[in-house]
Amino acid sequence: MPRQRRKTPADPNFEREAQKYDNPIPSREFILGLLQEADNPLSYDEIAERLQIDDDDRLEALRRRLKAMERDGQALCNRRGAYLPVNQEDLIRGRVIGHPDGFGFLVPDEQDDDLFLSPKQMRGVFHGDRALARVMGVDRRGRREGGIVEVLERNTTQVVGRLKIEDGVGVLTPDNKRITHDILVPPDGLGEAQDDQIVVVRIRESASRTARLKGDVLEVLGEHMAPGMEIDIAIRAHGLPHEWPDEVTAAADALGAEVAEKDKKGRLDLREKPFVTIDGSDARDFDDALYCEPEGKGWRLWVAIADVSHYVERDAALDREARTRGTSVYFPDNVIPMLPEALSNGLCSLNPKVDRLSMVCEMEIGARGALKSYRFHEGLIRSHARLIYDDVAAMLDGDTALREQNAHVMPHLETLHKAFKALHAARNRRGAIDFDTTETKIVFGEDRKIEQIVPTERNDAHRLVEECMIMANVAAARFLKKHKVPALYRIHDQPPAEKVEELREFLNGAGLSLGGGAEPTPADYTAVLKAARQRSDQQLIQTVLLRSLSQAVYAPELDGHFGLALDDYAHFTSPIRRYPDLLVHRGIRHVLRKGSGKAFPYSHSDMESLGEHCSMAERRADDATRDAEAWLKAEYMQDKVGETFTGVVSGVTGFGLFVEIKDVYIEGLVHVTSLDNDFYHFDPTRHTLTGERGGRVFRIGDELQVQVARVSLDDRKIDLALAGEPGKPKPTDAPPKKRSRRSKRRKDAETAPAEAAVEPTPAKPEAPAADDEAPAPKKKRRRRGGRRRGSASGDTTPDPAPEPGNEAAPVSDPDEGIPDAPEPGNEAVPPPRPEADKDGNTIVESEPQAQAAGKKPAGSGRRRSRRRRPSSS
C-alpha cells in the first residue's frame, strides 16, 4: 500500500512568496511554525517531506532557506544535522563587539541587555560576527556573562595590518584594534611580502579557542608611510566593498549615457520648470533639484530626486552590489560610491541642461511652513542651472554680479528662499534641536599630506536645501504609512530614561532644569540650549545634552524622529548614495503603478533585516572615514612634537582631558598622570577633574596651554602635556630599554620637555575602572606609602575608556545629527560634535559610538572634516 502523505496546511504568506519567486516554497514563518510544533528536531529530509517538496529546484531552494534561517538566528542545526527553532529565552542572537583588551560583548538583536564575553569566549569569534549565545551566569558587577553556542555569520575572512617577519615566519598585527588575534603567516604564505609592510592576509582557518590563526598574504598594500595608505588600510580594515564585479560594470555600461526615449514615456513632463541643483563646489553626483512657485498665501514646492529605482531593478546585479555596500563612503578627497560612476555621476545624476528621470514630490506649503498636501510623480526634468552653496548665499544677500549671471533663475530662487524662511520658522516652533557647532575641511598639499584644516561656514543656502529635503522626507513617510507599504523609516527614539535622569542631575547642579517630566520633548532640550547660550559653560551643557540622545537607525516601524521633532520621517532624497532611499522609492513607485500597497515584494521581515544591514553599513562607513582622518591628523602632528599651542578642553574623563588645539582642529589627550603632583578625582555628573590637595578643577571649555608630547601613527594617537608643568604624558607604546643608573642620571640631567615626550616614562597598562564594561580586576594588596592619582573612588588604575576621535565608532547619522547609542563599556566618553548635512539638521559624531567601534585613541578629534559629496575621482 503506498505511503500516504501528511496533509500540510496552506502557507498564509504564499502570495508574497509567489511575488518573489517563480517556483516558491513555504515562507520562513511557516517553516518556523512547523519546527515549533514538532516534538523533536527535524532533519532536512523530514522538513521536505512535511512540506511536500520533492522536485530538485524546490529542494535546493529549501536548503538555501534553512541555511539563511541559521545565519539569521531563526533556527539552529544541531550536531546530528536536525533543525530546531531558536528559543529566545535560552539562546540570544546578536552582533559581537570586540574590545582592544581582548574581551567583548554580544549586542542582542532584540531590546535586551548586552552579554559580556570573556577573552576565552572571544577567541572563537571576531568583532562584527553574528552569533548565538547562552547566558552562563552573572558576574559580581551584575552583568550577564555569555557563552558562544554557534557562530551564525562570519564577518572577517581577511585582515589588514602590519607584517613582522622573523626567521622566515610572519606575524600580522591587525590594524583594527578590536581584532585582538595575531595571525601567523607561515613561510609558504608570505609570497612577495617584506618585513614591516602593510598587507592583507586571508585567514586559512576559522577562529578557534585553541588553535592559533594562520593566513596567507593576499595583497601587499605598500610601505607604512606611503601617500594614500590611510584609505587603503581603512577600506580593508573595515571590510568595505570597493571593487566592482564584472557583471555590475557591464550592467551599468549597458544602460548608456543618456535617457532613452522609451523611458521618457508615461512620465509627468516638468522640463520647462526651472529646477536647479544646489551643492558643494566639488560635488559630482547631483541627486536632488528644487523649484518653488507662489500659491495663494503659501508656496508649491517641487523636490525632484534622481530616479535610481528605474535603472536598478530588484535583485539584479546592480541591486545586489548596492545592497551589499549600503551607502557611499566619503573619505577626505575621495569616495567609494554605492553605484558605479556611470550611474552615480552620469545617467542618474541630475546634471544641468540634460533630460533626467526623477521621482518628484510636489508639496503645498502653508504660509506658516506647514505641509498641507503632497503628491508623488514619476517625472522627467531638466536642471536649468548647477549652483553652489556659497554663490546662492551671496545672490540672496544681494551680490549684483552673481544675480545678473543667474538672472534666468533668480526670481525662483527668491521664492524658494521665502518658502525656506517659513519652513525654518515652523521648525523652530516645533522645537527641533539645533546645536551650535563648527565644521572643518581638510586641505591637502603635495603627496596627499594635510596642508591645513580649515573651518567651513554653513549659510542660508545649506539650510534652505536641508529644509526642503526634510519636507520631502516627511511626505514620503506619510505616503508609505497611508498606503501600508512595508518600508524603512529613519527612527530616532526618545532619550533613554536613565540618560534623562543623569541629565537632570547634571542640569540641577548647573542651576538649570529640563522640562517634560519622564519624557522630555525636543522643545524641552531646545529651551535648555537657549538658557545656556550666554553662559561660560555653554559647551559643557551642549555636550551633556548630546550624550543623552539615542542612536538614529533604519527600521520598518514608524516611531518618529526625536531630534527633528517629527512624527513621520523616512529617507527619500539620496538614492544615489543610500540604499534605504532606494527602497523608499520602490515603495512609492509600487503604489503609483499598482494603486495600493498590496503585493509589494518586500515583507515586514525583509525590511527588518535590511534595516539592520543598512544601519551597520552606515556605521561601517563612518568608522572607516574616521579611521582614515585620524591617521592623517596624527601624521600631520608628527613634526610638531615639542611645540606649544593654545587649546580648549573638549572632554573630561577619569583618565584625563581631551584638548582641541585652537585653529588646528585636532584633539589630543592630556593623561591624568601627566598633570601636576596631585590626586585627581573624576566627577562623572559634573564632568570635572578636581585636584584633592590643590583644588585645581578642569572642565569642558577651559582654555589651556598644551605641548605636543608624543604622536603614535600606529595608534592614531596624540599625547599632550600642559605646557610648563613637570608631568609627562602616559606612554602607550612598548617601554624603553632599561638603562644603567649612571646613564639614567645623565639622561635625567639632559632631559628637555620635548625630549621627554619622545621617550616617555613607561607606565603600567590601564585597567578597567569600576564603572566600565570590562572584566572586574582582581584585588591587589595596596602598598603603604600613599596612593596614585586616580578616580574619585580612589581606584589606583585609570579609566580604560578609549579617547574621543580615536576609535572606529558607529557614528552618528550622516543626515540627522543624532549621536549613536553607546556600545557596552563606553559610557565615560567626551562630547560629540554635530555637523550639518543636506537632509537634516546636523551630523553628530557620538563618542559613545566611537568607543564602540573600537579604534585606539587617535588625536583626530571628534570634529570631522566631513565634505558632503566630494569628487569621486
**Could you read off the pLDDT of 220-272 as tens digits, one per residue?**
988 876 777 888 889 988 889 999 999 999 999 999 999 999 999 999 999 99
209-228 burial, b at 16+ Cβ within 10 Å, e below that, comes to: eeeebebbbbbebeeeeeee
Query: Which has the closest alpha carbon to 196: 218, 221, 213?
Result: 221
The per-residue pLDDT for range 373-431, each reduced to its tens digit, is 999 999 999 999 999 999 999 999 999 999 999 999 999 999 999 999 999 999 999 99
- How confident is the model over 775-779, as a mean pLDDT? 41
How far is Cα 76 from Cα 67, in angstroms, rounded to an integer?
9
Question: How many Å separate Cα 226 from the centre of its chain?
Answer: 27
pLDDT the model gives residue 298: 96
* CB atoms near residue 551 (< 10 Å): 23
pLDDT tier at 850, thresholds 50, 70, 90:
very low
Q: Secondary structure of the chain: what % helix, strand, coil (to 5)?
A: 30, 25, 45
Highest mean pLDDT among 139-143, 213-217, 362-366, 825-829: 362-366
pLDDT the model gives residue 29: 84
pLDDT the model gives residue 92: 84
pLDDT the model gives residue 282: 85
pLDDT tier at 832, thresholds 50, 70, 90:
very low
State yes or no: pLDDT of 546 exceeds 70: yes
How far is Cα 49 from Cα 41, in angstroms, rounded to an integer?
14
How far is Cα 23 from Cα 805, in angstroms, rounded to an integer?
51
Cell of 252: 551599468
> Contact at 8 Å (CB) between 621 and 506?
no
Phi, psi of 528 (to 5 degrees): -65, -40
pLDDT the model gives residue 9: 60
pLDDT tier at 111, thresholds 50, 70, 90:
low
pLDDT the model gives residue 731: 43
pLDDT tier at 492, thresholds 50, 70, 90:
very high
Highest mean pLDDT among 148-152, 428-432, 584-588, 667-671: 584-588
How far is Cα 848 from Cα 835, in angstroms, rounded to an integer?
17
Task: Give 782: exposed, middle or buried? Use CB within 10 Å, 0-12, 13-18, 19+.
Answer: exposed
The per-residue pLDDT for range 168-177, each reduced to its tens digit, is 899 998 888 8
How far is Cα 473 from Cα 567, in angstroms, rounded to an integer?
11
How far is Cα 698 from Cα 696, in angstroms, rounded to an integer?
7
517-547 burial, b at 16+ Cβ within 10 Å, e below that, comes to: eeebbbbbbbbbbebbeeeebbbbbbbbbbb
Between 792 and 376, the more confident residue is 376
Cell of 186: 607561515
pLDDT tier at 873, thresholds 50, 70, 90:
very low
pLDDT the model gives residue 180: 85
pLDDT the model gives residue 801: 34
* CB atoms near residue 564 (< 10 Å): 27
State yes or no: pLDDT of 8 exceeds 70: no
β-sheet with 680-683: strand ranges across = 680-683, 688-691, 697-699
CA dihedral 192, 195, 200, 202 (to 10 degrees): 70
Cell of 687: 564632568
Mean pLDDT of the chain: 80
pLDDT the model gives residue 663: 87
* CB atoms near residue 631 (< 10 Å): 22
**∠ CA 547-553-555, rounded to 5°:** 145
Highest mean pLDDT among 10-24, 555-569, 845-859: 555-569
* CB atoms near residue 86 (< 10 Å): 22
* CB atoms near residue 511 (< 10 Å): 9
pLDDT the model gives residue 471: 97
pLDDT the model gives residue 452: 86
How far is Cα 319 from Cα 315, in angstroms, rounded to an integer?
5
pLDDT the model gives residue 171: 92
- How confident is the model over 646-665, as a mean pLDDT? 90
Task: Give 244: exposed, middle or buried? Use CB within 10 Å, 0-12, 13-18, 19+.
Answer: middle
- Provide the H-helix boundaries in 448-519: 460-482, 497-509
